A and B are shown apart, each in its own frame.
Chain A
Amino acid sequence: MAAKAGNWQSYKRVLLPPVRDLHRLSVYGDYGALRKALARYSPKEVTEIVKASGLKGRGGAGFPTGLKWSFMPPVDPDVPRFLCCNGDESEPGTYKDRQLMEFNPHQIFEGILISNYAISAKACYLYIRGEFADWITLMEEELDKAYAANFVGENIMGSGFSADIILHKGAGAYICGEETSLMESLEGKRAYPRIKPPFPAQSGIWGYPTTINNADTLACVPPIIAHGAEWFAAIGAPDHPGPLLYGISGHVNRPGVYEYPSGMLITDLLEVAHGMRADKKLKAVVPGGASVPVLRADMIDGVTMDANSLRAAGSMLGTAGLLFLDEDTDMVSFLRRVTRFYHHESCGQCTPCRDGTGWMENLVTRIDEGQGNTRDLDLLLDLCDQMEGRTVCALADAAAWPVRNTIKRFRADFEAKCRKAIWATETKAA
């Protein structure tokens, strides 16, 4: 079948181009896209171009970026407004933003500045995961250079437009990546997600209108301005166009972040990573970071990396971080590790998430250690119902999905590890 990614073998990278020492400003270029945006377009036009490009958020939820920008209220000179760039990347199996920061920081800065212009914000907070200490240092150095070259700051390149970028070191928790808790954290508070509404566009950082985008999303903006919306919209899958940074990990020969058009066949991506290690058979794929539903090997035929195809297959695009698992993988212990993560990272604000994630880990651990009962599986599925859709943020959902789907799709593996019942137990699926 024709992959949506088209002739991907000859694709030319735009986010992580193959340039040595790319993070040197002299190599990156002269912020031409920013120059073009400031000279040629009004803020509204920039927003329209980004809308037309079909760019969707790369932070996991896939929200249309241009549309998000248009939610900002009309400019009021007395009310500050902010852009926020989410560089808190912590979803297991996801490490694309880090690569961008390492190799192409100026494209993030340039994207930020164009977006600042589009939403008429004078400042952008760039929130970088605290554990990325070296990357923060690097970004700081590069930002200083951009300031020195007047690509950032007062009256940028004589255009009359001014914007600042403020680097903020993250507080060191997965939950800080959730957009509203990121804002709390930025304000110096505990990273507890806020209830929505109000949404960030109404009340974001310090209660002022704020747009928040993932670093990768913003890095897509300069090429869109440079080459036009149609060029971007033509890359990859039409419903989720543009370049994607596929973070491939697991039992493959060449794990790594690969930039290709969206809509790549999962099987092609396995080929890109030089196939399974030791020629083992593929057992399962988690296509978009730890929280998205796992796909069995028999479910991925013809499935491409875009929202529609993955939804039809029973999963989600998420962050496009693919985890390939081979035939030797114990799905119970895999799930045990995943539940441990969400238990560890729940902020503890909502009852279902705070207490449910721990209970899930307890149950999966017990099964993994051979002490579980088949009725525990039904209890786990019940817990998914008790958590999903009932919390402030989506972490509880993200914790429930892998449990629900891994059990559903690998039930035999789980039952095999359960205790042989001494008394008859009924299980709904049996």
Chain B
Amino acid sequence: MPSVTIDGRKYEFEGHPRLLQFCLDHGIEVPHFCYHPSMSVPANCRQCLVDIGAPVRSRATGELERTEDGEPVIRYFPKLQTSCSHTLADGQVVHTSRSSDKVARAQQDNLELMLINHPLDCPICDQAGMCPLQIQAYKYGPEGSRFEFRKTHKPKKVKLGPHVVLDAERCINCTRCTRFTDEISRSHQLTIIDRGVKNYPLTPPGLVFDDPYSMNVIDLCPVGALTSADFRFQARIWEMSSTPSIITASAKGSNCYYWVRDNLILRVTPRPNPEVNDFWLPDEDRLAYRCFNEDRPGGPEIREDGARQGATWEAACARAAELLSAAGLRSVFLASALATVEDNYLLMALARMTGGTVAGYLPHIAPGHGDGWLRTDERAPNGEGCRRLGLGPADVDALNEQIAKGEYDVLYVLEDDPVAAGLSELGAVSVILHYHNTTNRTLSLADVALPAATAAETIGTFVNVDGRAQRVVPAKAIRGAHRTLMMHMGLSRADRHGTPFDRWHNESHLINCKPSWELLPAVAGAMGHRMDYPGPRQIMDEVSSTVPAFGGATHKAMGLAGVKLPEV
């Protein structure tokens, strides 16, 4: 197998890897800015320079030339080479800054030059703390600067489009943003304008940067030049904890991080997963986080004398149990494409215990919304999970009719909004509602209103349109502390313990809600049925071993990347 020697250590390789990517894959750090694995390689930042030598072959025989001790003679390129653009060949010898002063010096020089016209407004920059320029300048850059002149000045606040704001002075001209719109989203809405040290990205005259994927350039930008209109100046990076999770606003289940401070989600960034979303997120997915913070319930409520009133969890669950027991077979259950597999599974179990009917889940379909990429027609995270549990889309018209005819006494709704879905005839039934937001239009009709934990607060499984089971873990804490959740709060942070600035014990933003996998057993318990699971992990163990469509989908197997479920 061909091999390459990097900093004195030999590595084997296959195919034709690019040197920089090969180094990164093998844990060898090489500073770089413009290179991105999924875009073309312009080699324009010049940061990734390394010294490369190749074995010399005799012109006459084609044999490797060797020194007296039998080592191949290595001839170095006359200039340092950009590792991002260099394709490896057998026998080459590479020196990074770790084994070559020349390379270390070149990388340092480059950073000195990169910084002379950089505004250094790190103290107020959104990128500070996770800025490749900042980090690499500390690691590979010079001690100070020899630049004694006025820096070039450029516009500090340019609204490129609805979601992206440019600070042109911070731009290091890596062209990642323009390459994104040219090569990935293909909207061609960004271009570099002007020349030399004055240049920066802008929309061509008459265009607005309203690309549905525009916000990806914010993550791509290796400095704080492209900022989010939504998140700009909201928090410093080190004040937030980030939790790996998935997007629940679409059926794609794009992988993401939720960035949280004091139990408020402040931004959503993509989490690379080549099986789902590569490095990208649609703007709409990023901006859908407000539903986790805003219009959240104050606690459980039950209807007394015609009006909803606050109640204890025990009282609310007891009332639900009471209504269900009284209804007997005359209860109907609505599953939910917004709830986890675990919660839907327990709902089905509860329906079996009471002898009620499961009417399927409410479909959330916006025809034509999908784009064949990361946006989907289905606007809910778990339609596929419901279908794999054997649930179909509920026939709203039929259900309306049945309720109007008085076939049911109780409607039990799992984390959804039937009124918004067109279920208008609810006057004749008692409604038990698990809900996320007070904007839920069914809430005003509910007899028992049970605030449910959202995807950002619970543990559970969602199945995306492509049949991939993925797990969420709590990104923010809730008031009704549960041992399993508490344990996960500590474990789920990307850095395992979060930051001291994110005070998740802080009372002010704790929502008084409970995960449905805790509520459903409580209701069942109040009816005298046993539904004994320590937590969603055990529920999923049962689902994956008893429902063939979920074969192999244990929490452990899903990990952070998810598992592809068997074809059904």
- What residues make up the interface of A, taking CB atoms closer than 8 Å to B? 173, 175, 190, 192, 195, 343-352, 354-359, 362, 366, 379, 385-386, 389-392
Contacts and interface: CB of A to CB of B under 8 A. Distances in A.
B233 interface: no
Interface in B143-179: 146-147, 149, 152, 172-173, 175
Contacts of A390: 46, 49, 79-80, 106, 109-110
B195 A345 contact: yes
Residue of A346, A354, A386, A390 with most partner-chain B CB within 10 A: A354
B46 A391 contact: yes
Contacts of B197: 343, 346, 348, 354-355, 357-358
The 10 closest A-B pairs by CB, nearest first: A386-B109, A346-B196, A389-B79, A355-B113, A348-B199, A348-B196, A362-B149, A349-B44, A195-B43, A358-B197
A347 B113 contact: no
5 contacts: A195-B85, A346-B195, A351-B173, A354-B173, A379-B146
A15 to B, nearest CB: 33
B191 interface: yes
Contact of A190 (B79, B113, B191): B191
Chief secondary structure at chain B's binding surface: loop
Contact of B82 (A195, A347, A349): A195
Interface string B103-127: 0001001101110110000000000
Given A195-B85, A354-B173, A348 B195 contact: yes
Nearest to A191: B195
B84 to A, nearest CB: 9
Contacts of B110: 351-352, 386, 390
Contacts of A343: 196-197
A356 B85 CA distance: 22
Contacts of B175: 192, 349
**What bracket does the count of chain B residues touching chain A fall in?**
35 or more
Given A195-B82, A345-B196, A354-B196, 19 more contacts: A173-B195, A192-B192, A348-B195, A348-B197, A349-B44, A351-B45, A351-B47, A352-B109, A352-B110, A352-B113, A355-B113, A355-B114, A355-B116, A356-B113, A358-B196, A366-B149, A379-B146, A386-B110, A390-B106
Contacts of A366: 149
A391 B80 CA distance: 10
A54 B194 CA distance: 41
A379 B44 CA distance: 24
Nearest to A175: B195
Contacts of B113: 351-352, 354-356, 359, 386
B42 interface: yes
B326 interface: no
Chief secondary structure at chain A's binding surface: helix
Contacts of A379: 146
Nearest to A361: B149
Given A346-B195, A348-B173, A358-B152, A192 B146 contact: no
A192 B40 CA distance: 14
A344 B196 contact: yes
Contact of A192 (B42, B114, B117): B42
Given A351-B172, A354-B173, A389-B79, A359 B116 contact: yes
A195 B41 contact: yes
A190 B175 CA distance: 12
Contacts of B196: 343-348, 354, 357-358
A386 B43 contact: no
B186 interface: no
A425 to B, nearest CB: 14
Nearest to B149: A362
Contacts of A348: 173, 192, 194-199
A359 B148 CA distance: 9
B42 A195 contact: yes
A30 to B, nearest CB: 44
A383 to B, nearest CB: 8
A345 B199 CA distance: 12
B112 A386 contact: yes
Nearest to B147: A359
B75 to A, nearest CB: 17
Contacts of B78: 389
Contacts of B79: 389-390
Contacts of A349: 42, 44, 173, 175
Nearest to B193: A190
Interface string B29-63: 00000000000011111110100000000000000
A19 B175 CA distance: 51
A385 B106 CA distance: 9
Contacts of A345: 195-196
A293 B376 CA distance: 62
Contacts of A389: 78-80
A350 B46 contact: yes
Contacts of A357: 196-197
Residue of A344, A355, A391 with most partner-chain B CB within 10 A: A355
A173 B194 CA distance: 11
A347 B23 CA distance: 30
Nearest to A344: B196
Contacts of B44: 192, 349-351, 392
Nearest to B33: A351
A362 B192 CA distance: 24
A351 B42 contact: no
A350 B79 CA distance: 15
Residue of A349, A379, A390, A392 with most partner-chain B CB within 10 A: A349
Contacts of A385: 109
A354 B195 CA distance: 9
Contacts of B149: 359, 362, 366
B137 to A, nearest CB: 12
A175 B195 CA distance: 10
A351 B46 contact: yes
Contacts of A352: 46, 109-110, 113
Nearest to B114: A351
A354 B199 CA distance: 9
A392 B116 CA distance: 20
Contacts of A354: 113, 173, 196-197, 199
A272 B163 CA distance: 65
Contacts of A350: 44-46
Residue of A190, A347, A350, A389 with most partner-chain B CB within 10 A: A350
Contact of B195 (A195, A347, A386): A347
A340 B551 CA distance: 69
A343 B173 CA distance: 16
Contact of B117 (A346, A347, A355, A386): A355
